[in-house]
Amino acid sequence: MAKKRQAEKEKKNINPDVVGLRAEVLVQPITDTLEVNFMPYAMSVIMSRAIPEIDGFKPSHRKLLYTMYKMGLLTGGRTKSANIVGQTMRLNPHGDAAIYETMVRLSKGYEALLTPFVDSKGNFGKVYSRDMAYAASRYTEAKLSSICAELFRDIERDTVDFTDNYDNTMLEPALLPTTFPNVLVSANTGIAVGMASNICSFNLTEVCQTTIDYIGDPNHNIMSTLKAPDFPTGGELLYSAQEIETIYRTGRGSFKLRARWRYNKPENLIEIFEIPYTTTAEAIIDKVAELVKTGKLKEIADMRDETDLQGLKLAVELKRGTDPDKLMAKLFKLTPLMDSFSCNFNILIGGMPRILGAGEILEEWLAWRTECVKRRVFSELQKKKEKLHLLYGLQKILLDIDQAIVIIRNTEEEAEVVPNLMIGFGIDETQAEYVAEIKLRNINREYILKRIDETSSLEEEIKDLEDTLGSARRIKAIIVDELKSVIKRYGTERKTGIIYDDETEEITEEEQIEDYPVNIFLSREGYFKKITPLSLRMGGEQKYKENDGPFLSFESQNKNDLLVFSDKQQVYKVRVRDFEDTKASVLGTYLPSYLQMDEGESVKYLLDPGDYSGHVLFFFENGKAARIELSAYATKTNRKKLTGAYSGASPLMSVVPLQAAGTAAGETEIAVYSTEDRVVIFSTSLLAPKTTRTTVGVAVMTLKKKYKLEKAVPVLESFIKNKTRYRVRSIPAAGALLKEEDLEEQQLEMTFE
């Protein structure tokens, strides 16, 4: 009862106006709140802050650069940054701190852009340092970089639209008429409401050349000229054709960047001088310190930041006996020295955010730039037409200059001068106004004749401009010429190196592996066994599936690599240590399944490349042979698969390893058999080694149409007695028919007896 009375008392004391207000707020639909309050804010962030447009700039960038342009900082000297910030606030009312931070990011000193737009003087900090702060705006100075001439070229000639600033006191450009695709050249990151944008930077020369090629051929393969992203901090990009193709096609994807380093042997330390764009020196040092403290990096004695005026340098002191390559493998795996960059090419096109691939961005930029050039040509055309129109009026005055003077002198009121000239000479108001404004000293026949002489040249220029305006080919030619000029004047070399898949891949930490001798066995169907010598001596007969049998066997070491060649021109790199020791009484590991080979793919050959100093011979059905250096298959990484292992022009029949540790220079003799029962024996010295894996080789055996090369084996492994009969001094050769005593079947029968 007490609670009920208290509630009634509180109800009586409530102000009715307040009750009505509260009731109105409570019943407002959430959809109205979103529409009235949230959506305008969200659209403002998307349209006016976070997402770049086709010129490659956000509004804050554009307002700052245009202010500097109007201050005369493109050709003049530097001025204090505080002065620039103050002037920019007429266009960008977001506070001096935000404006100055924008200028810092665009500056040459900060090194965030491959092509900086602000020529800075003083301490502007560094993008690769978290703690190296920039100085206050009152201490630093800045002007526009020379490349900004390409941003503002012909901006006064109606190339772009202008809009009112926030208080309607001045005009600002809606976009900058950039003569090159700056949207791809300058890195840009922004987080809006419900969406984000993250555009990596590309090399200016590569972007302009790609655009030129794209204009010439819309089906141009962009990956052939726009090799990969490029960053001002350098480093190395681990190139994956599939990843780059996905980014170029969809505008989304990621790739990996890693640091560049060198080993200072006298001082036993690693010097890291370029790091990924996505990290900072302090983040790397903090992570290394954490790993050292937890005992995961015992090889490091000390790490310090030795960055100076020469640039970034992180010094890593090594303990005695530490292998720098293995340590860097650990650091790449465990620290930000290797990092990923995620792309999201979200750009405002006509006021709408769109995620575009590289080709679509070039297409949109070309359409926009074409419109800019057309507007510029049209503006120039209109000015020349206006001038020609005035000269036509002056030409009429030439007929009687004295009459014009009489008309002006006899006119009583100034306002009647122009109408009287119009009546007297049959000219319009604009022409009459022009004549009336001519100075008295210029009212002579010589001056007027000189001006009229311009008429014919103006008519030619107008005709040419009209032709240009109506010709898509000529408009494209203008854009191409401007792009070539940008390459010539501002083009630079790549800063970020490209590491291709077939050269190297992500380095992984090498484990401490026990090394010991093993025997390798491979069956005809692809079953693999690794057996120790002791187990081999104690074991019984080798076990095989029905209809299967022995194919290869050789000695190796547990730490060695193995190359598995398939019948689909692919080679798989595996390590002996990846397989468990087994016994002769088991079937072994089925390699096609273990290596995840493609459907229908099978093992063709297996070899131990050793130190990759030898060669491997491939013999094809068409009678040709290729000698490839084993170094062509070597990488510094634990690569799993490599395509294009050998030529696919003809089916592969035999593989013969040729190790350098064999006979003189590793040369030996090979016996080649055909289905015609012919044999050729030749020295491998007749085959020149190639580094290109897919070479089609040279002919070693001349074959008749219905016959094929059947196999090739080292002579020492053949059953041929009279080798002289089949030996040749040059290739190709038809070979000699195989005699009965050299047949393999007969020799096998003798062996079984």
Which residue reads 């077939």 in tokens? 502
Give the residue among 526, 527, 584, 521 at the shortest CA–CA distance from 555. 521
Please, what is the angle between helix 96-106 and helix 81-88, to 10°? 120
Sign of CA dihedral 362, 368, 374, 380: negative
Give the residue among 433, 420, 425 at the shortest CA–CA distance from 400. 425
Give the residue among 117, 95, 97, 96 at the shortest CA–CA distance from 108. 117
In this structure, the chain runs to a length of 753
Q: Measuring CA to CA, how many Å separate 102 from each of 56, 81, 171, 296, 320?
A: 14, 12, 21, 40, 47
Edge-to-edge strand ranges of the sheet holding 314-318: 260-264, 269-274, 314-318, 300-305
With a CB cutoff of 8 Å and minimum separation 6, the contacts of 395 are 452, 455
Q: How far apart are CA 192 and CA 50, in angstroms?
A: 5
Active site residue 594: no
Instruction: Say if CB 585 and CB 664 are below 8 A apart.
Output: no
Return the ∠ at Cα 60 (arms to 46 and 132), rounded to 5°. 110
The letter for the amino acid at 146 is S
State CA 651 to chain mean position distance.
Answer: 37
Give the residue among 672, 688, 690, 667 at the shortest CA–CA distance from 733. 672
Instruction: Say if CB 693 and CB 646 are below 8 A apart.
Output: yes
The letter for the amino acid at 431 is Q
Q: How far apart are CA 295 and CA 318, in angstroms?
A: 15
Q: Measuring CA to CA, how many Å separate 117 from each of 51, 142, 146, 172, 182?
A: 19, 10, 8, 18, 11
Catalytic residue among 41, 139, 166, 500: 139
Q: How far apart are CA 612 and CA 492, in angstroms?
A: 38
Q: How far apart are CA 573 and CA 569, in angstroms?
A: 14
3-class state of residue 264 by DSSP:
strand
> In this structure, what is the dihedral angle of CA atoms 638, 515, 614, 509, given to the nearest 10 degrees?
20
Burial class (CB in 10 A: 0-12, 13-18, 19+), 305: middle
3-class state of residue 455 by DSSP:
helix
Give the residue among 93, 94, 121, 97 at the shortest CA–CA distance from 107. 121
With a CB cutoff of 8 Å and minimum separation 6, the contacts of 85 are 96, 99, 100, 103, 137
Sign of CA dihedral 576, 582, 585, 586: negative
Return the ∠ at Cα 481 (arms to 475 and 483), rounded to 5°. 105
Give, as one character, the DSSP assignment of residue 733: B
Q: How far apart are CA 39 and CA 35, in angstroms?
A: 5
Catalytic residues: 139
